[in-house]
Amino acid sequence: MSHPLWSGDFYNEGTGKDDIFDTLKEECGVFGVYGHSDAASLSYYGLHSLQHRGEESCGMCVADGKEFNYHRGMGLVKEVFDKERMASLVGNMSIGHVRYSTSGDSRLANAQPLIFKYRDGDLAIATNGNIVNAPQIRHELEQSGSIFQTTSDTEVVAHLIARSSKDVVEAAKDALARIVGGYAFLIMTNDKLLVASDPHGLRPITMGKLGESYIFSSESCALETIGAELLRDIQPGELLVLDKDGLKEDRYTEPQRKALCAMEYIYFARPDSDLNGSNLHASRKRMGSRMALEAFVDADIVTGVPDSSISAAIGYAEQTGIPYELGLIKNKYTGRTFIQPSQELREKGVKMKLSAVRGVVEGQRVVMIDDSIVRGTTCLRIVNLLREAGATEVHVRITSPPFKNPCYYGIDTPDRKELIASNKTVEEICREINADSLAFLSPEGLISAVGGDNASDPSGGLCLACFNNDYPTTLDFDGEEKAGCGC
Ligand code: SF4
């Protein structure tokens, strides 16, 4: 079968549909410290390790027992916090945030942590996730006089806490019990740090210890960076309270069906992080190995789309005996750019983010491992990069089931009508992405690879809603306006 080569623009920097990585966007990352004299420095390094979860803005609020010192800005951690700024962030308790935001909503007012003054003092909140019923609660609060400063869902929780006559712990419990969604919250007052996970544990948050200090992070890789020991994941419905009396392990609701976001395993989290006791690199290798068992194809080399699919490609190669090769290289130094290439350069195929390695793929039958297909445009471009570099066959293996439904729990996904798997068969997608063959990992294969085989829970403790439309929470809103990230 002969395939026409891609004849459109190859410019692949930028965002949206022009971005060769128009895949799913990470949500946000949170990092908290309790009981360390240099909480700000620890947070700096922690947030830096979580940078892949959000590059648009970041912030940190530090408490010294009397007042808050904080700073937020647009940009990367290393850009927003310089030496002078760090010197001003004095205190032994802190919460920090890195944020990805959907376009049009990328403004400083929404950068977190959000900071408020309320009846009992200062309140800072940082969150990762999305509150499905935030619009309804916000509407109710506005009707009764609340004035919102931001468009962030997180502010809804601040208002619920501030309007309560109870102490902050009880007020936070009531607030968390009212909201529906997928989230991890860090809430700080002048003398307390509260940490909460949603009733399904959709968004990850881990607890570690550094000496006598407690550390909280969206991913365990940030604990490793600062030399902290990983203690455990925060459980669904838990509310931890840290204050002068130490750590109190409480909860605001009973846990419901465990439904940790499967895309964290597949794509978002760093390979050096652990989720639910499993290392991500090892889990992804098992996905690749399982993929090989489910959809073997005879080929000369296996290559993974960097960075998230390299582990799975190694697993596929180990299982099949087909050598793993670096057929695709990602340029690490892309980031934001102010220079748009001219039309002439675009037509010449300026490839700023990803290149195929001609010396590796030329004349070879290639198995290309990727983590997901969203619109299909990314995959088409990468398949064509390989073909242009001389690959004789390109067989695409996707280490997730077909992505058919939008996410309402903090992942920025296109509308269902833009999700190619929602509208086309596997054969049609294969033709659309110009591949010689295409296969997706089965849901059972995914569950087994992440160690979730459990007769009493067919979903293996995972949220699989973007694959099987089985959303763990109620979605009591009209249309799809609350999809994505509400941080
Ligand atoms: S719908 Fe998909 S992306 Fe969203 S939380 Fe569930 S598994 Fe993750």
Domain boundaries, the chain: 28-256, 264-468
- Is 165 annotated to bind ligand? no
- Cβ neighbours around 87 below 10 Å, total: 9
Buried b / exposed e along 236-255 (16+ C-beta atoms within 10 A): bbbbbbbbeeebeeebbeee
Please determine, for residue 223, whether its predicted confidence score (pLDDT) is greater than 80: yes
Please state the atom number of ligand 1 nearest to the C-alpha of residue 182. Answer: 5
Q: How far away, in angstroms, is 441 Cα from ligand 1 center?
A: 16
Torsion sign (Cα): 151, 75, 56, 115: negative
- Cβ neighbours around 282 below 10 Å, total: 15
Give the global pTM.
0.91
Instruction: Calculate what percentage of the chain has a pLDDT beyond 90.
Output: 74
Please tell me the predicted confidence (pLDDT) of residue 105.
55
- Is 308 annotated to bind ligand? yes
pLDDT confidence of 309, banded at 50, 70, 90?
Answer: very high
Q: List the structure tokens of 143.
A: 């009707």
Closest residue to atom 2 of ligand 1, CA basis: 466
Please determine, for residue 412, whether its predicted confidence score (pLDDT) is greater than 60: yes
Distance between CA atoms of 379 and 372, rounded to whole angstroms?
Answer: 9
Q: What does R_g of the chain's alpha carbons equal in angstroms?
A: 23
Please tell me the predicted confidence (pLDDT) of residue 485.
58
Please report where in the chains the tokens 């889990």 appear, as a residue: 283
Largest CA distance in the chain: 72
pLDDT confidence of 337, banded at 50, 70, 90?
Answer: very low
Closest residue to atom 8 of ligand 1, CA basis: 261
Pairwise pLDDT comparison (145 vs 296), residue with the higher score = 296
SS3 381: helix
- Cβ neighbours around 117 below 10 Å, total: 10
Please tell me the predicted confidence (pLDDT) of residue 6.
35
- Cβ neighbours around 83 below 10 Å, total: 6
Cis ω for the linkage preceding 113 (within 30 of 0)? yes
Please determine, for residue 86, whether its predicted confidence score (pLDDT) is greater than 70: yes
Please tell me the predicted confidence (pLDDT) of residue 317.
97
Q: Ligand 1: residues whose CB is within 6 Å?
A: 182, 202, 261-263, 407, 409, 411, 463-466
Looking at the domain that runs over 28-256, which CATH code has it been given?
Answer: 3.60.20.10
Closest residue to atom 5 of ligand 1, CA basis: 261
Please determine, for residue 24, whether its predicted confidence score (pLDDT) is greater than 80: no
Distance between CA atoms of 435 and 217, rounded to whole angstroms?
Answer: 39
Distance between CA atoms of 448 and 451, rounded to whole angstroms?
Answer: 5
Please determine, for residue 182, whether its predicted confidence score (pLDDT) is greater than 60: yes
Are the C-beta atoms of residues 165 and 122 closer than 8 Å to each other? no
Which of 411, 450, 459 gets mutated to test ligand 1 (max ligand atoms within 8 A of its CB)? 411
Please determine, for residue 428, whether its predicted confidence score (pLDDT) is greater than 70: yes
- Cβ neighbours around 468 below 10 Å, total: 14
Please determine, for residue 340, whether its predicted confidence score (pLDDT) is greater than 60: no
Please determine, for residue 26, whether its predicted confidence score (pLDDT) is greater than 70: no
Q: How far away, in angstroms, is 251 Cα from ligand 1 center?
A: 24
- Is 49 annotated to bind ligand? no
Are the C-beta atoms of residues 219 and 46 closer than 8 Å to each other? no
Please tell me the predicted confidence (pLDDT) of residue 339.
52
Cis ω for the linkage preceding 307 (within 30 of 0)? yes
Please determine, for residue 433, whether its predicted confidence score (pLDDT) is greater than 80: yes
Q: How far away, in angstroms, is 139 Cα from ligand 1 center?
A: 26
Please tell me the predicted confidence (pLDDT) of residue 479.
43
Are the C-beta atoms of residues 480 and 416 closer than 8 Å to each other? yes
Distance between CA atoms of 370 and 355, rounded to whole angstroms?
Answer: 15
Mean pLDDT of 105-128: 87
Question: What DSSP character marks residue 265?
Answer: I
Query: Residue 326 is which amino acid?
Result: L
Pairwise pLDDT comparison (276 vs 209), residue with the higher score = 209
Query: Which overall architecture, per CATH, does domain 264-468 show?
Result: 3-Layer(aba) Sandwich (3.40)
Q: Give kind and range of the element (H or E) at residue 378.
A: helix 377-388
Average pLDDT, the chain: 88
Sequence-ordered list of residues with C-beta below 8 angstroms from that of 412, at least 6 positions apart, any chain: 24, 25, 27, 100, 102, 484, 485
Distance between CA atoms of 156 and 362, rounded to whole angstroms?
Answer: 55
Please tell me the predicted confidence (pLDDT) of residue 146.
86
Q: Which of 41-50, 268-277, 374-383 has the highest mean pLDDT?
A: 41-50
Q: How far is CA 249 from CA 24, 31, 93, 169, 242, in A?
A: 34, 18, 18, 12, 9
pLDDT confidence of 3, banded at 50, 70, 90?
Answer: very low
Which residues are tagged catalytic? 28
Torsion sign (Cα): 430, 434, 437, 442: negative
Which of 128, 463, 470, 482 gets mutated to test ligand 1 (max ligand atoms within 8 A of its CB)? 463
- Is 436 annotated to bind ligand? no
Please determine, for residue 7, whether its predicted confidence score (pLDDT) is greater than 70: no
Closest residue to atom 4 of ligand 1, CA basis: 407
Domains 28-256 and 264-468 share a fold: no
Which of 131, 263, 471 gets mutated to test ligand 1 (max ligand atoms within 8 A of its CB)? 263
138: Cα separation from own chain's centroid: 25
Mean pLDDT of 58-87: 95
